A = this chain, B = another copy of it.
C-alpha cells in the first residue's frame, strides 16, 4: 500500500503520532485509541508492510516503534506546494510594506 493511502486512515495517523513520542506495545495503542485489538493489529500490519513501523518482541508483548523514512515521499511531494505558501507570504509582506509606505 502506498504511503499516501496508508496515512489516509485517521487511526493509522493517530498510531504514528503515538509512536512518534515513544515506542509502545499493541495493548497500549488499543487502550489509548479505544479500538479493538484485531483492528489495531491490522492497522499495524499495514504500517509495518509500508515500512513505517518496526516491532520488537519482549516477552509476550510486541513493542512497536516508528520508522519515519517512508513519510519522506509525502514530504517530497509536498515540498513545491510549501514553496507556494512562502511566496504568498512574501506577497503579503510586500503588501503590508506598501500599506506602510502609502497609508490610505
Q: Tell me the A residues contacting B by CB distance below 8 Å.
A: 2, 4-5, 7-8, 10, 13, 16-17, 20, 66, 68, 71-72, 74-75, 77-78, 80-82, 84-85
Q: Assembly of this chain: how many copies?
A: 2
CA distance A81 to B84 in the complex (A): 21
With A5-B8, A8-B8 as contacts: A82 and B77 at CB distance below 8 Å: no
Contacts of A17 in B (CB 8 A): 80
Q: Are A78 and B71 in contact (CB under 8 A)?
A: yes
Contacts of A13 in B (CB 8 A): 4, 77
The residue from B10, B20, B71, B84 contacting A20, defined by CB atoms under 8 A apart: B84
Contacts of A77 in B (CB 8 A): 13
